[in-house]
Every structure is written in C-alpha cells, then in structure tokens.
C-alpha cells in the first residue's frame, strides 16, 4: 500500500475518532447544563449574582469548546489539503 494512502487513511480515522468523541463530550456537557439549570431554578438560597456567575461560566465554556472544535477542524482540513495537493 502506498504510504500516502495509508497516512491519509490514518488522518481520516483520527478525524472520525475525534468527531465522535467530541460529540459524546458535547452531549454529556449539555445534559450537565440541563441539570445545573434545573438546580439553579430550585436553589432559592443561591443569590442572583451566583446564578449569573454560573450561567456566564457555562456560556464561556461553550464558546471555548466551539472555538477548539473550529481550530481542530481547520487543522484537519489543512492536513487533508496537503494529501490532495501532493
């Protein structure tokens, strides 16, 4: 088997593995977010500033997660383009 083909298949496998793992992580985070939102709705003892801080933290976490995914996708695209062009 040609080395280039083998390396391309390895990259495709790694991208597929990353995408599936990332989707599973996102599902877990979304379930956790729902649980936290339910808890915040019932936590009358928690001040509004605390609730706002938790909501801002979740929002920031989501942005970081999306930015990370975007960068990884761009990197995989560069590698795929390398195999196409060479």
pLDDT in tens, the chain (86 residues): 688 889 989 999 999 999 999 999 999 999 999 998 999 899 889 899 999 998 899 999 999 999 999 999 999 999 988 888 76
Distance between CA atoms of residues 65 and 41, nearest Å: 25
Q: Which residue shows structure tokens 């593995």?
A: 17
Q: Is 8 within 8 Å of 83 (Cβ atoms)?
A: yes
Q: Which tokens belong to 28?
A: 């877990």
- pTM across the whole model: 0.83
């Amino acid at each position: 088997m040609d080395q280039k083909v083998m390396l391309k298949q390895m990259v495709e496998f790694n991208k597929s593995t990353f995408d599936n793992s990332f989707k599973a992580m996102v599902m877990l985070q979304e379930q956790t977010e729902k649980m936290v939102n339910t808890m915040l709705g019932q936590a009358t003892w928690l001040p509004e500033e605390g609730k706002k801080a938790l909501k801002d933290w979740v929002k920031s976490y989501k942005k970081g997660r999306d930015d990370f995914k975007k960068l990884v996708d761009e990197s995989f695209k560069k590698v795929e383009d390398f195999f196409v062009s060479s």
